[in-house]
Amino acid sequence: MVVPFIQFVDVTKNFGTTHVLKGLNLSIFKGEIIAIIGKSGTGKSVLLKHIIGLVQQDSGQILINGEPLHQLSRKARKSFQKQLSYMFQDNALFDFMNIYDNIALPLKENSGFPKDQVKEKVFMRLQQLGLTGIQEKFPAQLSGGMRKRVALARALVTDPKMVLFDEPTTGLDPIRKKIVHSMIQEYQEKFGFTAVIVSHDIPEIFNVAQRIAMLDDGIIKFEGTKKDILDSHSKILNAFIRGENV
Amino acid sequence: MLIESIEKFGATILKLLESLGRVVLFFLRGVGNIFIPPFQFAKIIDHTWFIGTKSIFVIVLTGLFTGMVLGLQGYYSLIEFGSEAALGSAVALTLIRELGPVFTAIMVTARAGSAMAAEIGVMRISEQIDALKTMHINPVRFLFTPRIIAAIISFPLLTALFNVVGIFGGFVSGSLMLGINRHVYMDTVIRSIQMQDITGGFYKAVAFAVIATTICCYRGYYTHLSSGFGARGVSLSTTNAVVQSCIFVFVSDYIITFFLV
């Protein structure tokens, strides 16, 4: 049996009196693209933040390659988290830095790469994402679509083993959405990283992800492939896809 | 009713102590990171430019007018006792011991401290601080450590500038406008200042740098906990940062003076 790369076991999370995750179970396998869908405010971003360590669960376990995350040594946990990268919903680019510095930051601060190697990596990502020539500009001088691509470049510059995408296409026009989705697919194939995408782009995301999980009322209500979705008789899933309230 | 009031009072005190503890921990985390390589020279220079160099105009302006007012007030008070010759001494000592460090701290807090609180607050609400964490960058080290070093460098230098310009301001109103002999004015200034006055002012400037920078950065960093999210949260934490910094500057001024005299 294949051990999941990351496994949520009965994970709960409350913020004050709000119960966001109510015993969530989910497995994420190495090298796959999994999409998390669900209504706004159901805790999809919170789920991602548990993986990267920005939020800690109240109960339950998160297993990394079968080992509980909280039982890993500090060194092992740090080493695991260094394999991850996160693309924020609102990009979270640093306003006071130009585009070059934004993308180079994780390399400059952590990798110990010499300056010319950092430069080479940043320019390679800029070129791959069609951002050549904007390295001296600041985030505020770019369009929404360009800022998204810069955020994507920053997320990929460290060659992560897993990338967490929090609504990577929010605010983009259909053409840009398609480009971002293709980019994720293309880079995932090229670099082989595991991708977890929180998305509202239905049905487009079904063509990007190999598996889809639907989060509703704090638990995973559905998990399967595109075909499983199309064959599913789940009322909640079908209503959500059609944009109807159950 | 009485028990309820005591409970409320107790809860407020506990909250205050908790918050004070968090500020101290924040400060220790920031200072502890000073000694961990790689050292952030470029960032320190950037922040020294922002806190120090960009405050020069404000400091010169306030220092000049503070000195001029001291010269004017001092002259009319001293002349009643026939001691107007001591004006230089009065202006210099008042500035070097008290007004220089305090006014500099307040002006720099208003200009640079508020900007620090707002900038870090915006970074908090726009998830930029979370982004630093996801990149395995220590946000306190990245945001606070270079700022506190820059403030420790800038505050004493700006205080010295304030003092020099203030003494010149006293000279303008006392000698040039009211006719005190310029040699007498300068002579009393030089003769009255002792090394301990200068070192005392220096200690105060360093203490105020630490207090103002820590409070401003802390308020920005924990905007989401104390003032809430959004633009209103940032504006509230910026206001709180400036007001609390100024209060703590005055309180600590009294405490330091108590031990220095």
Q: Is the pLDDT of residue A234 over 90?
A: no
* B252 has a chain A CB within 8 A of its CB: no
CA distance B261 to B24: 27
Using a CB–CB cutoff of 8 Å, tell me whether A162 touches chain B.
no
Q: Chain B, 107-146: which have a CB under 8 Å from a chain A CB?
A: 119, 122-123, 126-128, 130-131, 133-137, 142
Q: Are strands A84-87 and A219-224 parallel, antiparallel or unpaired?
A: unpaired
Q: How high is the pLDDT of residue B227?
A: 66
Per-residue pLDDT of chain B (261 residues; tens, 9 = 90+): 788 899 999 999 998 899 889 999 999 999 998 888 888 899 999 999 999 999 999 999 999 999 999 999 999 999 888 888 889 999 999 999 999 999 999 999 999 999 999 999 999 999 999 999 999 899 999 999 999 999 999 999 999 999 999 999 999 999 999 888 889 999 999 999 999 999 999 999 999 999 999 999 999 999 888 766 788 889 999 999 999 999 999 999 999 999 987
Share of chain B above pLDDT 70, in %: 99
Q: Does B37 touch chain A (CB under 8 A)?
A: no
Among B122, B131, B142, beta carbon nearest to A88? B131
Q: Is the pLDDT of residue A141 over 80?
A: yes
Give the count of beta carbons closer than 10 Å to the beta carbon of residue A18: 10
Contact B75/B179 with Cβ under 8 angstroms?
Answer: no
Cα–Cα dist B260/B145, whole Å: 29
- Amino acid identity of A71? Q
Chain A interface disruption, residue of B116, B122, B136, most A CBs within 10 A: B136
Percent of chain A's residues with pLDDT above 90: 40
Q: What is the mean pLDDT of residues A164-185?
A: 85
Q: Is residue B12 part of a domain?
A: no
In a domain, B33, yes or no: no
**Interface contact A106-B123, CB threshold 8 A:** no
In percent, the amount of chain A with pLDDT more than 70 equals 99
Q: Which two structure tokens, joined as six digits, stand for B35?
A: 């000694």
- Tell me the CB-side half-sphere exposure of residue B193, using CA atoms within 13 A: 22
Cβ density class A198-207: b for 16+ within 10 Å, e for less: bbebeebbbe
In a domain, B29, yes or no: no
Backbone angles phi, psi at A6, to 5 degrees: -130, 135
Shortest CA distance from B126: residue in chain A? A92
Q: Is B137 close to A78, i.e. CB distance below 8 A?
A: no
Quote ipTM for the complex.
0.85
Distances (CA, A) of A12 to A18, A19, A59, B159: 11, 8, 5, 54
pLDDT at B118: 95
What would the two tokens of residue B105 be?
Answer: 């701290």
Q: Is residue B24 part of a domain?
A: no
Which residues in chain A have Cβ-Cβ distances shorter than 8 Å to B40? none
The per-residue pLDDT for A227 is 87
- Let me know if residue B240 belongs to a domain: yes
SS3 B250: helix
Residue A111 has pLDDT above 80, yes or no: no
- Report chain B residues whose CB lies below 8 A from the CB of A84: 134
Quick check: is B18 in a domain? no
The alpha carbons of chain A give a radius of gyration, in whole angstroms, of 18
Closest residue on chain B to A160 (Cα): B135
CA distance A25 to B210: 47
Note whether B253 contacts A: Cβ–Cβ < 8 A. Answer: no
User: In this prediction, what percent of chain B has a pLDDT beyond 90?
Assistant: 80
Contact B144, B30 (CB under 8 A): yes
Res. A206: pLDDT tops 90:
no
Residue A16: the pLDDT is 87
Are B46 and B151 within 8 A, CB to CB?
no
B153 in any annotated domain: yes
The pLDDT tens digits for B22-68 are 999 999 999 998 888 888 899 999 999 999 999 999 999 999 999 99
Mean pLDDT value across chain A: 88
Which of A81, A86, A108, A110 to probe the B interface (max B CBs under 10 A)?
A86
Enclosing H/E stretch for A25:
strand A18-28
Question: Phi/psi of residue A216, each to 5°?
Answer: -150, 135
Closest CA to A11 of A45, A47, A64, A44: A47
**Taking CA atoms, what residue in B is nearest to A163?**
B134
Nearest of B204, B227, B89, B94 to residue B158 by alpha carbon:
B204
Asked if the Cβ–Cβ distance from B119 to A94 is below 8 Å, we say: no
In chain A, residues with a C-beta closer than 8 Å to the C-beta of B137 are 105-106, 109-110
Phi-psi region of A243 (alpha: psi -120 to 50; beta: other; left: phi over 0): left
The DSSP result for B176-214, as a single string, is IIT---HHHHHHHHHHH--HHHHHHHHHHHHHHHHHHHH
Structural domain harbouring B128: 41-260
Give the one of B130, B131, B136 whose C-beta lies nearest to A81's C-beta: B136
Encoded tokens for A24: 């969530």
Cβ <8 Å between A54 and B137: no
How far is it, in rounded angstroms, from Cα A104 to Cα A101? Answer: 5
A110 touches chain B (CB under 8 A): yes
Q: Which of B29, B257, B210, B232 is nearest to B105 (CA)?
A: B210
Q: Which two tokens stand for residue A132?
A: 């050549």
Distance from CA of B36 to the nearest CA of A (A): 13
Torsion angle defined by CA atoms of residues A184, B132, A17 and B8, in that order, rounded to the nearest 10 degrees: -170
Residues of A in contact with B142 (CB under 8 A): 109
Chain A CB contacts of B123 below 8 Å:
94
Q: What is the pLDDT of residue A246?
A: 62
Structure tokens at B92: 């210099």
CA A145, A151, A157, A163 torsion-angle sign: negative
Amino acid at A244: E
A107: which residues sit within 8 A by CB, 6+ positions away? A113, A118, A121, A122, A157, A158
Most distant CA atoms of chain A, gap in Å: 56
Give the N- to C-terminal CA distance of chain B in Å, as an integer: 46
| Confidence tier at A47 by pLDDT (50, 70, 90) | very high
B13 within domain boundaries: no
Number of C-beta neighbours around residue A97 at 10 A = 14
Residue B218 tokens, joined: 């802390």
* Locus of tokens 């130009």: A98
Please identify which residue in the block is written with the tokens 């559905």: A222
From A81's Cα to the closest Cα of chain B, the distance in A is: 8
What total number of domains does chain B contain?
A: 1
What domains can be seen in chain A, in order of their start residue? 31-49+72-242 (3.40.50.300)
Question: What average pLDDT score do residues A208-220 get?
Answer: 90
- Residues 141 to 170 of B: which have CB under 8 A from any A CB? 142
Work out how many CB contacts closer than 8 A connect A with B.
45
Q: How far is B178 from chain A (nearest CA, A)?
A: 50
